[in-house]
Structure 1
Amino acid sequence: MSAGKLNRIRNSGRTILALACLGCLLLALSACSDETEKPEVEPYPPPNPLLYEIANSNGEVEGWMLGTIHALPDGVVWRTPEIDHVASDADILVVEVASLRRSDALRQIFLELSQTGDLPPISERVSVEYRPDLETMLERSDLSRNRLRNTEDWGAAIMLAQVDAPGRPRNGVDRALIADFDGRDVRGLETARGQLGVFDTLAAQDQRDLLEGTIAEWAASRDDPERLLRAWLSGNAQVLERATTEGIMADSELHAALLVDRNNRWMDELLPILEAEPKPFIAVGAAHLFGPEGLTVMLEDAGYTLERLPAS
């Protein structure tokens, strides 16, 4: 990895992965110990996540879209009166993966896709400069070298991304909304296998970049592990959008695979849903909303008007 790319990675936080994807992947794994000492963090701001009303060219409301995060610490209040109002009024819920409550099945898919025999030890798969931090991460987790030995680089990266992670997937926003819509229609934009397959089909160098980037971001974010979490909670669009172009997401191949390509596929599903009679509540990782190929711009290009709704 080049020095320039390494510097960009160190300017980001691991939370970007929880804003981009991993709803099913995080739920399938349990990689870090709850006993590790956590750094002190700032108080959480009042909740105001990015929530948009979607109207057609005639000004008629066709649905709503919420930028989510797939893992949160215990006790974080993220619901607002407006989110609850939309969740009550919407006819259907559209999420990345609809089967988040099937954790055993998700774990099995992860193991099936991520395991390969005869891999080198994990420490030999990263450059020398990352090895001291990797050792510290392993010491602070319940991960063993044997557990990682047969895990491909992308899988090891996601397992390591949970070391000292500020959030728990059981508190993920999409998971909570799926429970809210129990008895109503819940649709997924992709399957668990499809989401994990995004990582499994990455080129070998991109997988290594993801692994090394995860280690570098862990080291860089230890002083303020909840920076992006607080930005998500307060709806700080500037900080969140910048995070989609820094760190791991500064890698053009990873940015395309994790965000742009998936957004393009999702639009093929979202447009017919918005054109139909039932009004959808679209809840996807907040990182998917930003940039010229983000869902907000793509929906506007398709003729819709998006208006951010206040917290109450």
Structure 2
Amino acid sequence: MSRKFGQSARRVAAGLVSVLALGFAGTALAEPALWAVKDKDSTIYLFGTIHVLKPDTPWRSARIDKALAASGDLTLEIVGADDPAVMQPLVAKYGLDPAHPLSTKLAPATFQHAAELAQGGGMPPQMLNMMRPWLAAVSLSLIPVIKAGYDPKSGVEQVLIREIKAAGKAENAFETPEQQIRFFADLSAKTEADFLRSTLDEVDEGVGKIDKMVAAWAAGDTAELESEFVSEMKGDYPELYELLIVKRNQDWAGQLKTKLAGSGVSFVAVGSGHLVGPDSVQAQLAKLGIKAERVE
């Protein structure tokens, strides 16, 4: 079972419950990648995000700050992921299944492994047992990350939202919170269980691989990001890749085409996995006759 399945899927899941572990290591003068789409009266900046960071992670640059300042609005994957009033009812509806305990869906050793990890993170095993596998995977993936010093409130989206609100600018979203949660809630039972098992394998390895991935993000290394986010998920889980990456990128590209038909400057921030690889948002835009160029 590929570790990258858990890594790639949780990049998507992070937007819905603000969980995903990422860190930083960069090189001198390097910075996260930024792209721009333009026509005669519009500019749309595309920025790949990291959903959870250490509080002291440096990622701002003059290019990013200039693009954000010039933009009249911010578009994210979803709006409301940090609002318990929005998320808790959805998680209860789609993520909890007390009538069918998690312990009945997994091998005893696998559930015991999950329960030990949950207890080590302060989550009672009985709470874990109420969760569907996808929610258990997302929740357990955060435990070692927080222990390593990462903070959901320090993620890129949270920083951008605070700045946009302070400036009185508009927030938009490609998807609703319910849409994003259902990408996971509608997975087959087998895929859900695979997701959880791969998460447990990955957690056992610690946060070293996460640090490596974010080093690539911070350095703007799109080839390494493609390897970390896309390649194995595409090869090992093509149906999941098609659902979570390709179809969403196609939808977003269509929305961006409509937005480009208007006027003004906009800043779009989505998970970095959507802006790398052969099926990226930029690739989908190219199929629509729209060119995205990296801002240098």
Instruction: Provide, for residues 51-107 of structure 1, a one-character-per-residue CA deviation record: whole Å limited to 9, x for no partner.
Output: 012134x7x762110011111112101111110100000122111112244234212
Q: Which moved more, 1:94-103 or 1:292-301?
A: 94-103
Judged with a 3 Å threshold, the aligned counterparts in structure 2 of structure 1 residues 233 and 20 are, in CA distance, closer, same or farther, namely farther
CA RMSD of superposed structures (Å): 2.7
Q: Which amino acid in the other structure matches residue 127 of structure 2?
A: R
Judged with a 3 Å threshold, the aligned counterparts in structure 2 of structure 1 residues 125 and 133 are, in CA distance, closer, same or farther, namely same
Contact 1:66/1:284, CA 8 A, preserved across alignment: yes
1:255 maps to 2:241: yes
Q: Specify which of 167, 170, 176 is matched with residue 153 of structure 2.
A: 170
Q: Which moved more, 1:188-197 or 1:296-305?
A: 296-305
Segments of structure 2 that go 5 or more residues without pairing to the other structure are none
Q: C-alpha distance in 2, partners of 1:42/1:176? A: 16
1:184 maps to 2:169: yes
Aligned residue number for residue 183 of structure 2? 198
Q: 1:6-45 residue pairs with structure 2 within 5 A?
A: 6=1, 9-10=2-3, 12=4, 16-17=8-9, 19-26=11-18, 43-45=25-27
Q: C-alpha distance in 2, partners of 1:239/1:43? A: 14
1:241 maps to 2:226: yes
- 1:45 is displaced (CA, Å) by 4.1
Aligned residue number for residue 55 of structure 1? 38
1:144 maps to 2:144: no
Q: Which amino acid in the other structure matches residue 232 of structure 1?
A: W
Contact 1:49/1:78, CA 8 A, preserved across alignment: yes
Contact 1:20/1:288, CA 8 A, preserved across alignment: no
1:155 maps to 2:111: no
Name the SS for the 1:265 alignment partner. Answer: helix
**Equivalent residue pairs, number:** 288
**Percentage identity across paired residues of the two chains:** 23
Judged with a 3 Å threshold, the aligned counterparts in structure 2 of structure 1 residues 82 and 223 are, in CA distance, closer, same or farther, namely closer
Structure-2-length-normalised TM-score: 0.86
Judged with a 3 Å threshold, the aligned counterparts in structure 2 of structure 1 residues 231 and 92 are, in CA distance, closer, same or farther, namely same
Q: Which has the higher helix share?
A: 2
- 1:128 is displaced (CA, Å) by 6.2
Q: C-alpha distance in 2, partners of 1:145/1:139? A: 6
- 1:301 is displaced (CA, Å) by 2.1
Segments of structure 1 that go 5 or more residues without pairing to the other structure are 1-5, 33-40
Structure-1-length-normalised TM-score: 0.82
Instruction: Provide, for residues 12-39 of structure 1, a one-character-per-residue CA deviation record: whole Å limited to 9, x for no partner.
Output: 3965456434223126x9xx9xxxxxxx
Aligned residue number for residue 299 of structure 1? 285
- 1:129 is displaced (CA, Å) by 6.7
